[in-house]
Amino acid sequence: MDRNSIENHRKITYASVMNFQVQTDAVKDGRKGGGLKLILPFFRRYKAQILLGMVCMIIVDGTQLIVPQVIRSVVDTLDAGSLDRAVLIRQCVFILGLGVLMAVLRYAWRILLMGSARNLEKGIRDQLYTHIMALDPAFFDRVNTGDIMAHATSDINHVRMAFGFGIIVLVDTVLLGGAILAIMIWTHPKLTALALIPMPALIFFTRFLGKKMHDFHTTAQESFSVLTEMIRESFFGIRIIKVFNFESLVTNRVGHAATDYFRKNLKRAVATSLLRPLLGFFFNISSLIILFYGGILVMRNTLSPGELVAFLQYLGLLAWPIIAIGWMTNLFQRGMSSLRRINALLQSRPRITCPENPVTMPRQIRQIRFSHTGFSYDGHTPILSDICLDIPGGSRVGITGPPGTGKTTLACLMMRLYDPTQGKIRVNGIPTTDMDPKALQSCIAFMPQEPFLFSATIRENMLMGRNMPDTELEKVIRICDLSDTIKAMPRGLEALVGERGVTLSGGQKQRLVLARALVEDKPVLILDDPVSQLDTQTAQRVIDGIHRRTKDRTCVLISHRLSALAACDTIYVLENGRISAGGSHAHLLETSRYYRHAFDVQQFEET
Amino acid sequence: MTREEKEIRLADLVLAKAMWPYIRPYAWMLAVSTLLVFAGIFFELSIPLLIQKGLDGFILQSGQNSKDALFLGLHMEDFRSFGLFFCLMILAAFVIDFGQTLFLEYSGQKIILNLRWKLFSHMTGLPVAYYDKNASGRLVARVAGDIENMNEMFTSVLVFIFKDLVLMAAIFVMLARLNAGLAFYLFGLVPVILMSVTGFSRHVRSAFRTIRQKIGEINHSFSEGISGIRAIQTTGSAATFIKRFRDLNATHYDAAMRQIKTFAVFMPFIGLLGIISTAVILWAGGLKVTAHEMTIGELVAFLTYMKLFFRPLRELSEKFNLLQNALASAERITTVLEQKKDRQRLTRKRVRMDAIHHLAFDHVHFSYDTETPVLKDICFSLEKGSSIGIVGQTGSGKTSIINLVTGFYRPDAGLIRINGQLQESINTMDIRRKTALVMQDPILFSGTVKDNICPPENPLDGPDLKKVLEQANCGFLYDKFNGPETMLKEGGRPLSAGEKQLICIARAFACNPDLIIFDEATSYMDSGSEQAVHEAMNRLMKGRLSIIIAHRLSTIRHCDRILLLRNGRIREQGSHPELVRAKGEYYHLLEKETL
């Protein structure tokens, strides 16, 4: 009867261990086992290592159980009053031997199991980065950068914890816990049953508080990043704050944000502070039960004193597996949902794909033609509509127009960063959708509107891993009017820029990014607003240099600065997503109201 | 080694002195926490003792007749009352333990909240030069990360290192009282333990540091890869970036493995020490029991306490690391706190000033580092209702003039007069109250448009605010967005560059300045928005003093006076027609710009 109830209890304990499997796999998300596919190959590859690690751990667990038995037998012989020195020595040496064995095996499993978890982490992170590099801009419009960052940092960490620590804890819990339970039951089933009464509560609270801790921690972290951002923007705008006497205002705002963080942190603190004392409490209750009921048993002579002492020792050993059950289920749940999120990210495919049989890129680009092309990011607000334009190979085309009329989008379509939602774009008569986007992009040098610099040297930022002899690079630098800037740098071309290096002005950044686009001699050059941040003289010098360098190449120039466009063969005016006028500079001055007006603003009549 | 330690200790004292004023108001909280910690230790230690008393007094009764247990002078006559007492003890232990942890967290957080607030408000008072010298990312780290590390020091380190040490000492006393002879054996282990803990923590610290640094780099290259994805893809350099990332990831892996190895040596070693001492105690204790020098219950209690003795060891080494971290942060924070504030320079007889109607530079020289002169012999004057335009190439010193006018920096030589009085003699706050600045980067803070515009001392109400927005051509706020209640996210999203600049002009309108400064305010603009901005600018300039910096001549053509700067000197000065007639540098610039 008693033995049965213990068995049942054990089943319950095991069931709760296995429970997470049922929950995480089936209930949470429709996609069953979606994430596991990601890590199974890993387990296969490191099979031997993981198995060996587990065997080591199992032996350690087994050995650990023998120690209290030895102590028990010593205490019992002591109680009987008959002690042989030789026996005592043998027992102590035996314990020492076990200790050394355990130390060696513990070293082994730590390296084997934790090492393989780090391998898993490394593998997933590599995979994630490689995957992201292949996604198209449309993906990054949809997905928040912060979310991807979260996948790369905390989600990968959760996975490592679940499948590194998690496995260790799982093996430990099942084996060690099971064995301890078995010995306890074998010693005295009823006493075991009574001692285990508080344990379900213990498991419940570890799980419950563990989850709360995690949730509160996340909200506290969110509050912390709000606070950090607030501090950052205050420091960034310090001049404005000082001139407008906003000091007290921002201090108050930061004060509020800090208080919010304080409150959320306190919530987390309540959960954290409750956990350990609560575990201790339930554990002490178990000790009390063992001592009280076991004591009565000893007094009745149905239990030996040594057995009672060993029982207390085993209870001490059981504490860890019991706590681990609650902890581990949280770990696995978190790990699984992280895995699913990472997997979803890895499943996302670029919308722009290479057709099955891509047309080989023509060696010469004779013509790029937009025929009734339209585009919309979200499917209903048109950004570009009915664009018809013709860019003959080797010609210079300028595009201007008020902001938000789709000039940048037009450039992106040419690059096949997006595909048009209406009409086609043809290169030498072949629709771009029939081409491999990579092959197409390898024919086009592109300078995006927002200059982005990597925290690397100036040279690395220009070359981006491509090769160019220094003499050629010098030429490019001269065209971009960067010679003086670079000369003024402490380490010239090798000076670090970006977050951890020198801060460049807007105009310097712009010219650096322009140089990046000029590094390769590609047949087509698209420059999106290349000189907006340069003063007029420099801008003119740079534009002239570009024209000289790209004499026989196709060049698309987007700018608000009409003086920069004047040398173009054809200039198109884009208004509200449509081409409102096109022609030479002189022609547009007469035909386009926008162009005329813009010219008047930028130009001024001589007195 | 010893010298190094001494130095650190000395520095720690200085740190403690600098930090003390911020901690003092909460010192009582820390004191209470410490008391609670002691109470916690008492309970933690009394429970094994109780078990021993129970074993010896009731269960084993080795030969004696009396059934009782003596605990802290408390006689328990039967087993049942002993059980009840045990119950009470564990309940009390729970309450004390929980109360102590929570209270400690609370005090730590409270100190941190206060310190963070003080630090931030101190930093907003620092001169602009300080911000120019230090990368803003690093300054943010002071208020965010470093303060957070300090928190670690209060909540988990200080009290706990203290607690663990006291606990270990207390356990040792208990062991010695149980059996001095046995405790002596254990004592032999202490040097080994201390040496291994210090050695281990040194290793682990360096491993942790590399891991943290590598993770930082990994995160950085992730975010850089995402933000720069277009640049990477359009230059076809994805492969290069992937390779670079893999290398970085591999170095992180190596560092992580090193850390795992360190732990794989240390943790089992501590376990081994525990086993060794168990064997020794069992051997020596067994002999003592046979010789009737100690009871079995005492031996069991001894073994239990010994376990407790080894438990804090692992954590202790971890906490030493945290303490090191926290001290490094504290040091960085103190350096910031010791920076002199802006305003403290002008303590003596500051003159009150209500309005600016005249501004003059009188042979002003200026440099940022006292070596390379940035401005040389600058003279000009500006009256109410007139405007000055400053042109010149990048690096010619245009922005430095503004840095002087706004009092962000002081001239090396020469005088700046406002209303005929020396700038230094006037309360900087008064000057700034009457000054507005519109910069090249439209700087907006996250929050509502209203928060961004209104001066804190006189918040504008509905109609006034609307009028200001209309004057600044910000009608779009009502058409496209939510009016002055529009919420702006970081970087002024969702407004376009031109719209952001208009809001900045509205901010200038709202503070109703006498002196208005435009620093390249229209450089990001296309012609369409530029006109809206120009209109707003012209409206704002009316009846005030204005300084306009531009690289496009069209922007400053209508100014009453134009300064042409080159290499920090004024090369030409005059109105547009005058300068055109002079056919000098200005005229050449003009020709180039007109195609």
pLDDT of res. B229: 82
Chain B interface mutation, best of A129, A140, A160, highest count of B Cβ atoms under 10 Å: A129
CA distances from residue A314 to A61, A163, A317, B193, B200 in whole angstroms, order as listed: 12, 28, 5, 26, 30
Q: Which of A110, A238, A272 sits opposite B131 (nearest CB)?
A: A238
Give, in degrees to the nearest 5, the angle at Cα A438 between A436 and A440.
70
A310 CA to chain B: closest CA distance, Å?
10
Q: Which of B54, B451, B589 sits opposite A291 (nearest CB)?
A: B54
Residues 388-407 of A with CB under 8 A from B: 402-404
* For residues A488-500, average pLDDT: 78
pLDDT greater at residue B138 or residue B321: B138
Could you tell me which chain A residue has the CA closest to the CA of B510? A244
pLDDT of res. A526: 92
Could you tell me which chain B residue has the CA closest to the CA of A314? B304
Q: pTM surpassing 0.80? A: no
Look at the alpha carbons of B311, B314, B317, B323 in this order and tell me if their dihedral is positive or negative. Answer: negative
* For residues B251-255, average pLDDT: 92
pLDDT of res. B159: 67
On whether the CB atoms of residues B219 and A152 are closer than 8 A, the answer is yes
Question: Any idea where the domains of chain B sit in the sequence?
Answer: 1-178+326-340, 180-293, 358-593
Distance CA A336, CA A163 (A): 9
First vs last C-alpha separation in chain A: 112
Burial of B335 (0-12, 13-18, 19+ CB in 10 A): exposed
* Strand positions, DSSP E, A272-412: 367-376, 382-392, 396-400
Q: Quick one: how far is CA A2 from the chain centroid? A: 52
Distance CA B472, CA B524 (A): 17
Interchain contact A449–B (C-beta under 8 A): no
- Which of these, B418, B302, B380, B435, lies nearest to B560 by C-alpha position? B380
CA distances from residue A76 to A303, B289, B293, B363 in whole angstroms, order as listed: 11, 12, 17, 100
Distance CA A100, CA A111 (A): 17
Chain B interface mutation, best of A56, A239, A312, A499, highest count of B Cβ atoms under 10 Å: A239
pLDDT greater at residue B150 or residue B562: B562
- B66-89 residue pLDDT tens: 455 556 566 666 777 888 888 888
Distance CA B353, CA B137 (A): 36
Give yes or no for residue B8 having a pLDDT over 60.
no
On whether the CB atoms of residues A586 and A592 are closer than 8 A, the answer is no
Distance CA B464, CA B148 (A): 42
- Count of positions (residues) in chain A: 607
Residues in chain B within 8 Å Cβ distance of A514: none
CA distances from residue B130 to A235, A502, B445 in whole angstroms, order as listed: 11, 16, 21
Which position has the token pair 């350099």? B237
* For residues B210-232, average pLDDT: 82
On whether the CB atoms of residues A334 and A156 are closer than 8 A, the answer is no
Can you identify the CATH homologous superfamily of domain B358-593?
A: P-loop containing nucleotide triphosphate hydrolases (3.40.50.300)
Instruction: Tell me what the pLDDT averaged over chain A comes to.
Output: 82
Distance CA B94, CA B533 (A): 67
Distance CA B91, CA B569 (A): 81
Q: Torsions phi, psi of A376, nearest 5?
A: -145, 135
- Which of these, A413, A382, A339, lies nearest to A155 by C-alpha position? A339
On whether the CB atoms of residues A310 and A72 are closer than 8 A, the answer is yes
CA distances from residue B389 to A146, B550, B563 in whole angstroms, order as listed: 43, 7, 6
Interchain contact B592–A (C-beta under 8 A): yes
Question: Greatest CA separation found in chain A?
Answer: 123
Could you tell me which chain A residue has the CA closest to the CA of B144? A228
Residues in chain B within 8 Å Cβ distance of A409: none
Q: Which of B101, B250, B406 sits opposite A273 (nearest CB)?
A: B101
Distance CA B67, CA A601 (A): 106
Show the tokens assigned to A383: 């950004």
Interchain contact B538–A (C-beta under 8 A): no
pLDDT greater at residue A488 or residue A6: A488
Beta-carbon contacts of A89 under 8 Å, excluding residues fewer than 6 positions away, are B283
Beta-carbon contacts of A390 under 8 Å, excluding residues fewer than 6 positions away, are A367, A368, A369, A370
Interchain contact A350–B (C-beta under 8 A): no
Give yes or no for residue A359 having a pLDDT over 80.
yes
Instruction: Decide the pairing of beta strands B545-549 and B387-391.
Output: parallel
Interchain contact B147–A (C-beta under 8 A): no
Give yes or no for residue B195 having a pLDDT over 80.
yes
Q: Quick one: how far is CA A477 from the chain centroid? A: 36
ipTM over 0.85: no
* For residues B266-273, average pLDDT: 86
A357 CA to chain B: closest CA distance, Å?
21
A486 CA to chain B: closest CA distance, Å?
14
Whether residues B224 and A145 touch (CB distance < 8 A) is answered with no
Residues in chain B within 8 Å Cβ distance of A221: none
Interchain contact A86–B (C-beta under 8 A): no
Q: What is the CATH number of domain B1-178+326-340?
A: 1.20.1560.10
The strand order across the sheet containing B435-438 reads: B435-438, B515-519, B545-549, B387-391, B561-566, B569-574
What sections of B348-448 are H helices per DSSP?
398-405, 428-433
- Count of positions (residues) in chain B: 595
- A6-61 residue pLDDT tens: 333 333 333 333 333 333 333 333 344 456 777 888 888 888 998 999 899 889 88
Q: How many beta carbons lie within 10 A of that of residue B257, not counting itself?
A: 17
Residues in chain B within 8 Å Cβ distance of A92: 279-280, 282-283
Whether residues A277 and B93 touch (CB distance < 8 A) is answered with yes
On whether the CB atoms of residues A375 and A384 are closer than 8 A, the answer is yes
Whether residues B120 and A231 touch (CB distance < 8 A) is answered with yes
pLDDT of res. A397: 93
* For residues A255-277, average pLDDT: 88
Distance CA B355, CA B262 (A): 68
Task: Say yes or no: do domains A32-347 and A367-602 share a fold.
Answer: no
Identify residue A567 by its one-letter amino acid code: A
Distance CA A263, CA A275 (A): 19
Q: Quick one: how far is CA B338 from the chain centroid? A: 15
Give yes or no for residue A105 having a pLDDT over 90.
yes
Interchain contact A277–B (C-beta under 8 A): yes
Distance CA A464, CA A515 (A): 11
Q: What is the DSSP letter of A523?
A: S
Distance CA B247, CA B242 (A): 9
Can you identify the CATH homologous superfamily of domain A32-347?
A: ABC transporter type 1, transmembrane domain (1.20.1560.10)
Residues in chain A within 8 Å Cβ distance of B585: none
B94 CA to chain A: closest CA distance, Å?
5
- Which of these, A542, A546, A564, lies nearest to A554 by C-alpha position? A546
Give yes or no for residue B427 having a pLDDT over 90.
no
Sequence-separated contacts (24+) of A32-35 with Cβ below 8 Å: A34/A340, A34/A343, A34/A344, A35/A336, A35/A339, A35/A340, A35/A342, A35/A343
Instruction: Decide the pairing of beta strands B561-566 and B569-574.
Output: antiparallel
Distance CA A470, CA A462 (A): 12
* For residues A324-352, average pLDDT: 82
pLDDT of res. A571: 94
pLDDT of res. A5: 35
A526-530, B12-16, B256-260, B360-364: least confident range:
B12-16
Whether residues A253 and B447 touch (CB distance < 8 A) is answered with yes
Q: Which of A149, A231, A259 sits opposite B113 (nearest CB)?
A: A259
Q: Which of B143, B257, B456 sits opposite A115 (nearest CB)?
A: B257
Q: Torsions phi, psi of B512, nearest 5?
A: 45, 65
Interchain contact A465–B (C-beta under 8 A): yes
Q: How confident is the model at residue A572 (pLDDT cuts 50, 70, 90)?
A: very high
Distance CA A250, CA A266 (A): 24
Which DSSP string do the residues of A431-460 spell out, in sequence order? EGGGB-HHHHHTTEEEE-SS----SSBHHH
Distance CA A194, CA A297 (A): 13
pLDDT greater at residue A392 or residue B58: A392
Distance CA B490, CA B444 (A): 8
Whether residues B232 and A464 touch (CB distance < 8 A) is answered with yes
Distance CA B161, CA B167 (A): 10
Residues in chain A within 8 Å Cβ distance of B246: 126, 129
Can you identify the CATH homologous superfamily of domain A367-602?
A: P-loop containing nucleotide triphosphate hydrolases (3.40.50.300)
Whether residues A464 and B235 touch (CB distance < 8 A) is answered with yes
CA distances from residue B482 to A47, A209, B283, B473 in whole angstroms, order as listed: 60, 42, 82, 15
Q: Quick one: how far is CA B140 from the chain centroid? A: 5
A387-396, B9-18, B123-132, B222-231: least confident range:
B9-18
Question: Any idea where the domains of chain A sit in the sequence?
Answer: 32-347, 367-602
Whether residues A228 and B140 touch (CB distance < 8 A) is answered with yes
Residues 26-45 of A with CB under 8 A from B: none
CA Rg, chain A, in Å?
A: 36
Interchain contact B43–A (C-beta under 8 A): no
Beta-carbon contacts of B316 under 8 Å, excluding residues fewer than 6 positions away, are B161, B164, B165, B197
B91-105, B129-143, B336-350, B466-480: least confident range:
B336-350
